[in-house]
């Protein structure tokens, strides 16, 4: 469960740091404009805060609806980015743009696998 909270925290950190990166390097703004405008950033932070709240109380109690809701939240976060951002599927480690997001997905998947409630 704490791995999922860590993943949500990394999601917020990624959102905030991408805004700071664009301000420092405006020549790269055209590459990330759909992820660094105010609406996607505020939506990302809101989803992450909601996810942390679900993880801390009901998922810790082992409630199945919380696990399914967390899984669906991560699917909703991951699928649009993986489908629309070609940087996420490149195997070139020298090209940046999606490494932190992919690491966040791996941490979230590990946390979901470890926090699955037992079947009743």
- Where helices occur in the chain by DSSP H, the ranges are 2-24, 33-36, 38-54, 64-84, 99-114
pLDDT interval class at 33 (50, 70, 90): low
pLDDT at 120 over 60: no
Lowest mean pLDDT among 12-21, 25-34, 51-60, 98-107: 25-34
pTM: predicted TM-score of the whole model, two decimal places: 0.83
Instruction: Provide the mean pLDDT of the chain.
Output: 85
Q: What is the mean pLDDT of residues 91-109?
A: 82
């Amino acid at each position: 469960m704490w791995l999922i909270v860590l993943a949500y925290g990394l999601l917020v950190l990624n959102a905030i740091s991408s805004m700071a990166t664009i301000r420092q390097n405006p020549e790269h703004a055209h590459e990330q404009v759909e992820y660094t405008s105010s609406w996607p950033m505020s939506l990302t932070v809101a989803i992450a805060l909601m996810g942390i709240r679900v993880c801390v109380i009901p998922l810790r109690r082992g409630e199945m609806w919380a696990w399914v809701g967390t899984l669906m939240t991560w699917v909703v976060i991951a699928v649009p980015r993986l489908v629309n951002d070609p940087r996420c599927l490149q195997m070139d480690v020298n090209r940046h743009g999606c490494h932190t997001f992919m690491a966040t997905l791996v941490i979230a998947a590990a946390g979901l696998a470890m926090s699955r409630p037992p079947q009743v």
